[in-house]
Structure 1
Amino acid sequence: MTEPIITDEEVLRHVTGLVGEAYRRQLWLMFLDADDLALPVLMPIEAYPNRPTYPHLEKIAGAIAEMVAELQAASVILTWERPGPGDSTPDERLWAAALGIACEVRELSVRAQLLASREGVRHFDKAEYFAAAA
């Protein structure tokens, strides 16, 4: 039986088990229900520009909103996958901050954002990505 994904460590284990080491540049969407159980949908988004633009933010946030409604999800986990070192880039920090805000405006709950690189998966915390946006 599936166990709830409650702690940050459980989120990290869940995402690591699904994504693992990064192979290509893409954003993964994973959804949790109201009981913090993982829903059986994993959605990759590959086609997005290096820097966030309003049309692309709207498209991705809109897709997240549609999936949340369709799945009756309570929250989404965003995982930014790309080959390379484990440190985030300025563009990744901008994307994480901008998409987090776009989801917040739509009243979508983002459970966590993570970064998957050749060094593995790690949490991509607000303090890290909002520092770049300031």
Structure 2
Amino acid sequence: MTAIPAPMTEPIITDEEVLRHVTGLVGEAYRRQLWLMFLDADDLALPVLMPIEAYPNRPTYPQLEKIAGAIADMVAELRAASVILTWERPGSGDSTPDERLWAAALGIACEVRELTVRAQLLASREGVRHFDKAEYFAVAA
């Protein structure tokens, strides 16, 4: 886990505010990892970031369960109301089939655990953007 340097004092309510928050923390991508960020019941960012670097290119059931379990544990420990998932990796801003598969699978795994995913984003060399359900479910289906 990584502590956020300055506490966030304003709620993160809109999609634009989510994008601004994640951009301020992750910025331009330079390595492949998944960032977990947490919000409380008042939509305030909790002062914890959790990067996950070691996950396979394509989701496997054991690894998916391990990551979803870690998210559930962090949500419980922090008493978080929701999580923001940010997929960081160098390269273009276009998602890959494997990224779409990961986003869909992890989103479903969180839903099964009754965890609220506030948003999924993709951080690339082109910056941070929303990674919407329509994009990853259309291809994963």
TM range (shorter): over 0.9
Secondary structure at 2:36 match in 1: strand
Secondary structure at 1:108 match in 2: coil
In the alignment, the residues of structure 1 paired with residue 63 and residue 36 of structure 2 have an alpha-carbon distance, to the nearest angstrom, of 15
Aligned residue pairs total 134
2:80 to 60, 73, 80: 73
Residue 70 of structure 2 is matched in structure 1 by 63
Q: Please give the per-residue CA displacement for 1:55-82, whole angstroms capped at 9, x wherever unaligned.
A: 0000000000000000000000000000
In the alignment, the residues of structure 2 paired with residue 122 and residue 133 of structure 1 have an alpha-carbon distance, to the nearest angstrom, of 19
Structure 1 unaligned segments of length 5 or more: list them. Answer: none
Give 1:132 shift.
1.1
Q: Give the 4+ runs in structure 1 shifted more than 3 A.
A: none
1:109 aligns to 2:116 (yes or no):
yes
Root-mean-square deviation (Å): 0.6
Give 1:29 shift.
0.0
TM-score under structure 2 length normalisation = 0.94
Give 1:97 shift.
0.1
Q: Please give the per-residue CA displacement for 1:89-117, whole angstroms capped at 9, x wherever unaligned.
A: 00000000000000000000000000000
TM-score under structure 1 length normalisation = 0.99
- Over the matched positions of the two proteins, sequence identity in percent amounts to 96
In the alignment, the residues of structure 2 paired with residue 22 and residue 119 of structure 1 have an alpha-carbon distance, to the nearest angstrom, of 8
